[in-house]
Amino acid sequence: MSNAKYLVEPTPLRLRGKGGIELAADRFGPEDGPLVIFLHGGGQTRHSWKKTGAILAADGLRVITLDARGHGDSQWAPDRDYSRAVLVEDLVEVLDQLGVTADNGAVIVGASMGGITGLLATAHPRGAGIHALVLVDIVTRPEPQGVERVLNFLGRYRDGFDTVEQAADAVAEYMPHRPRPASNEGLLRNLRHRDGRWYWHWDPDMIAGRARDADTDIMARVLEPAARALRIPVMLVRGRMSDVVSEEAVAEFLDQVPHAQVVEIGNAAHTAAGDDNDAFTDAVADFVRATARQDV
């Protein structure tokens, strides 16, 4: 797939989460098109979805890519609250601002942390407007070692880097399955320069005190009831090289959500959308187009 003709500049938006926190977002496509909202994973930004958003927008969909609190260009939480519960509250506030109702719904596409947020929001009293859900490499009981590896990476470089090259080295070590880019230019949007050092674009306190998030038994007790209650269309996208979502975990998820569609991306790990964006877009595009237009 060639994405060149779809690389259009989005319209920036400022939305509000719980307590009035400012959230940065981009809109691709018409203001009145069927709505799809993309939620990134921990340590990522809305830019993870740029190509996919532009391609769907070319079909007339209204695509919103959102920076979670403490990430990208969104405001850091004054109280350093980045819990699952507050991320869900942020999402339902955003749904209200975008005009989402039970009769005028939205498709949620969420990766990892964003997928957890989307799943839990379906069980929220104000989540009836979520009419379809795509979970990107996240299930109700992910693999403990994979979760721990993600959290360790997010928390390891709190003191930043002397150079962009050091940050690139850290990414290459974390994702050895990805070919290293010839240039570090793309990495710059994931870094912030201050006081002579380079820092990741997220609040370092995002990860502090979240050891419980690595406890998959606790995670399962939180997520399984929401999964079993799903009656909307669901797609699970798994990176075949993922150390977070195993084949056994997929089978368990299908016991909980028998109607879910499952797609594997062969050249991808946990960061499936970024590992092979073309294959990811191919995997989800038809599902998103069909389910989004059910509300039209």
Rounded-to-integer distance, Cα 54 and Cα 63, Å:
8
pLDDT per residue over 129-179, tens digit each? 999 999 999 999 999 999 989 988 888 998 999 999 999 999 999 888 888
CA distances from 120 to 102, 186, 262 (A): 16, 32, 19
Q: Output phi, psi for 62, to 5 deg.
A: -95, 110
DSSP notation for 169-230: HHHHHH-TTSPPPS-SGGGGGGEEEETTEEEESS-GGGSTT-GGGG-HHHHHHHHHHHHHT-
pLDDT per residue over 39-89, tens digit each? 999 989 999 898 899 999 999 999 999 999 999 999 999 999 999 999 999
pLDDT of 269 reads 82
**CATH architecture of the domain with range 4-144+216-293:** 3-Layer(aba) Sandwich (3.40)
Question: What residue segments make up the domains of the chain, in order of their start?
Answer: 4-144+216-293, 147-204
Model confidence at 237, pLDDT cuts 50, 70, 90, reads very high
Place of tokens 């109607």: 259
CA-closest candidate to residue 45, choices 75, 21, 15, 25: 25
Neighbour count for residue 51 (Cβ, 10 Å): 19
- b/e per residue, 138-147, with b = 16+ CB within 10 A? bbbbbbeebb
Determine the Cα angle at 78 with ends 76 and 83, to 5°.
75
Structure tokens at 239: 């990176």
pLDDT of 212 reads 58
β partners of residue 23: 15
CA-closest candidate to residue 10, choices 63, 76, 61: 63
